[in-house]
A and B are shown apart, each in its own frame.
Chain A
Amino acid sequence: MMRQITWKLSIKVVFLSLFLVFTVFPLYWIFVTSLKPSNEMFTIPIQYWPENVTFENYINIIKISNFDVYIMNSLILSLIAGVISLIIATLGGYVLARFEFKGKTQVIFAFFITQMIPLFIGLAPLYLLMSKLELINRLPSLMLMYTVMMVPFCTVMMKGFFERIPSSLEEAAMMDGCSRITALFKVIIPVMLPGLAATFIFAFVQCWNELFLAVMFIDKEEAKTIPVAMNSFITKFDIDWGSMSAATVLSVIPTLLLFAFAQKYIVEGMTQGSIKG
């Protein structure tokens, strides 16, 4: 019995270690690259840790580009789009979870179909629409489009979370004289914080990372997000891998931190919302 357990354990340890190396190595590698001086970038044999650690790539990227502007833009954009998506998804998800009504299946079906629509099919009409609203080259256009992109999936995610919470909870509160809305905010919301966190982080990360809409709609330096800026680096013929890797590291730090701190809630939230047969 004991031997069998240690055998199983060692398989587990080996597998998990290999998988960890596989997962982390690319990140490690881009980090190491970002610390290499330009003359070490292509040296053979390859240096797995730079001989001379330098921050010149970071200094360079901050000097040659408005990286602080891009980070601020991405941050504001993702926060606002994330919060608005969360609010809309909470309201919609609540109603879809708690009530039966005509058209409910159709609404859910319409949300499901949005996931299949290739981004580029509606690009030209969307562009015309945005230019009529005079939002081209301005961050609110992205806020609007990102919110729209996030709402269907987040709503269904929230629906799942609400379904996990017994409706007796808000019924009891309403018995005490709360209105449905007060019950929702005072009783239900606090119980499902992990679910809310998971949904918000999902939306935030998606908005933070979105590339193509941002590239198509934003061309002005003041309104550029990080992906737009990074994209303009690679469309040049020669990629400067030093600055590129430094920019990559800088741009993933916020989402990595968010994930590191919140992964517990994400799994917890998903557990609350996981679909049961």
Chain B
Amino acid sequence: MKIQTETVTERGLPLFRMSKHGLFIFLCLLPAIILVSIFTYYPLLKGVIMAFQNYSAYDLMNIRFIGLENFKTIMADIGFKESLVNSFYWVFFSLIPQFFIGFIVALMLRRKFKGRGVYQAFIFFPWAMSGFLIGLIWRWMLNGQGGVINDLLMKLGIIDTAIPFLADPTWAMVSVIVANVWYGITFFAIMILAALQSIPEELFEAAKIDGAGYFQQLFNITVPYILPTLIVTTLLRVIWILNFPDLIYSLTNGGPAGSTHILSTYMLEKIMFGQNYGQAAAVGVIIIFILIFFSIFYLLATKFNKAGDF
């Protein structure tokens, strides 16, 4: 008897039956919901309120609402505009190479070959490291005149004189992006490789019998099959990359002269050096707005309806 009702509930969702499983569902989700509500959403809510207050650690006795003052102040700041533009470069030029190189790597690793496991273990290493350490390692490699990357580029005959990677604003931006690409390829490679391996082999067999070439198979079978993974992975990456100050923090710390700040490091600086939580929160609100609008637009553009299933 018991079994009967349960199977019905699982698939058929008659809501009046919910009371039977209601308690079980409730109890299983309770820890997650409590934790996320108290330690993520409550601080977020408070943070959003702070965006409309003059909340500064220097003047905690005198906190009051100041309307849109924080937003006006940061909008007028050249540093903010710069970091807004940089954020776009940072996300776009990190994501595109990560995606394509990750995709190619995944395609090449799809079929088993001798030593594939070892190879995977090696190329997955960046993902095991923190953005902070990656920034640090690249900072050392790009270091001044005697950095190893300049040395290698000169040895390979690509450049004649050392490039001031971290002293020149444009090169500094290129540097942080290259480091981020290095870091992020792995993530795409893992996700795409996993998706590729879930494609039933028969699909390819059938296509081969029909005489489909490599690229035909790629675009007619592979890509459509893993498209949902590609869409979700890319969206998640955009969100994560925009909210990823760690690497820039240790590689350039926004320098030289603020030229490599993105919104999240700009926000960090407002807190670390200005102690201005109100303005920092305003930047945070702007970041959330950007991401929500981007997500909606992206999901609509890709006609993807499983938004929640990240």
Give the interface of A toward B (CB within 8 A): 12, 15-16, 19-20, 22-24, 26-27, 29-30, 33, 42, 44-46, 88-89, 91-92, 94-96, 98-102, 105, 107-126, 129, 144-145, 147-149, 151-153, 155-156, 159-160, 167, 171, 174-175, 180, 205, 208-212, 227, 230-231, 234, 241, 244-245, 248, 251-252, 255-256, 258-260, 263-264, 266-271, 273-277
- Assuming the contacts A91-B28, A91-B29, A115-B236, asked whether A121 and B281 have C-beta atoms less than 8 A apart, the reply is yes
Main secondary structure on chain B at its contact with chain A?
helix
With a CB–CB cut-off of 8 A, which chain A residues contact B287? 116, 118, 121
With a CB–CB cut-off of 8 A, which chain A residues contact B18? 101-102
Q: Which 4 A-B pairs have the closest CB atoms?
A: A122-B43, A121-B284, A209-B130, A270-B194
Q: What are 22 of the A-B contact pairs (CB < 8 Å)?
A: A16-B108, A20-B119, A24-B122, A88-B31, A88-B32, A91-B28, A100-B11, A101-B21, A109-B308, A117-B243, A125-B50, A156-B310, A171-B3, A209-B131, A212-B246, A256-B125, A258-B128, A267-B120, A271-B194, A274-B195, A274-B198, A275-B306
Is A211 a contact of B264 with CB atoms below 8 Å? no
- Assuming the contacts A209-B130, A276-B198, asked whether A112 and B108 have C-beta atoms less than 8 A apart, the reply is no
Identify which of B125, B151, B243 contacts A118 (C-beta below 8 A). Answer: B243
Question: Is residue B10 within 8 Å, beta carbon to beta carbon, of the partner chain?
Answer: yes
User: CA A160 – CA B236 in complex, angstroms?
Assistant: 15
Identify which of A116, A153, A245, A276 contacts B288 (C-beta below 8 A). Answer: A116
With a CB–CB cut-off of 8 A, which chain A residues contact B121? 259-260, 263
B255 CB to closest chain A CB (Å) equals 13
Is B264 a contact of A209 with CB atoms below 8 Å? no
Is B46 a contact of A122 with CB atoms below 8 Å? yes
CB proximity to A under 8 Å, residues B122-157 = 122-134, 136-138, 140-141, 143, 146, 148, 151
Residue of B whose beta carbon sits closest to that of A110: B36
Residue of B whose beta carbon sits closest to that of A180: B24
Is B280 a contact of A26 with CB atoms below 8 Å? no
Question: Is residue B207 within 8 Å, beta carbon to beta carbon, of the partner chain?
Answer: no
Is A151 a contact of B36 with CB atoms below 8 Å? yes
Give the interface of B toward A (CB within 8 A): 2-3, 6-7, 9-11, 13, 15, 18, 21-22, 24-25, 28-29, 31-33, 35-36, 38-44, 46-48, 50, 55, 57, 101, 104-105, 108, 117, 119-134, 136-138, 140-141, 143, 146, 148, 151, 182, 185-186, 190-191, 193-195, 197-198, 225-229, 232, 236, 239-240, 243, 245-246, 249-250, 263-264, 267-268, 271, 277, 280-281, 283-285, 287-288, 291-292, 295, 306-310
Is B128 a contact of A256 with CB atoms below 8 Å? yes
With a CB–CB cut-off of 8 A, which chain B residues contact A241? 140, 143
A258 CB to closest chain B CB (Å) equals 7
Is B125 a contact of A259 with CB atoms below 8 Å? yes
Give the residue among A147, A234, A273 with the most B Cβ atoms within 10 A.
Answer: A234
User: CA A24 – CA B141 in complex, angstroms?
Assistant: 13
Give the residue among A22, A145, A209, A274 with the most B Cβ atoms within 10 A.
Answer: A274
Is A121 a contact of B146 with CB atoms below 8 Å? no
Residue of B whose beta carbon sits closest to that of A151: B32
With a CB–CB cut-off of 8 A, which chain B residues contact A115? 236, 239-240, 310
Is B128 a contact of A117 with CB atoms below 8 Å? no
**16 extra interchain contacts, Cβ-Cβ under 8 A, other than A100-B13, A123-B277, A152-B40?**
A20-B119, A20-B123, A24-B125, A45-B151, A92-B31, A102-B15, A110-B36, A121-B267, A121-B287, A122-B40, A125-B50, A144-B39, A209-B133, A230-B133, A244-B140, A252-B133
With a CB–CB cut-off of 8 A, which chain B residues contact A19? 101, 105, 123
With a CB–CB cut-off of 8 A, which chain B residues contact A116? 239, 243, 287-288, 291-292, 295
Is B130 a contact of A227 with CB atoms below 8 Å? yes
Residue of B whose beta carbon sits closest to that of A11: B108
B1 CB to closest chain A CB (Å) equals 12
- Assuming the contacts A23-B126, A33-B140, A263-B117, asked whether A117 and B44 have C-beta atoms less than 8 A apart, the reply is yes
With a CB–CB cut-off of 8 A, which chain B residues contact A125? 42-43, 46-47, 50
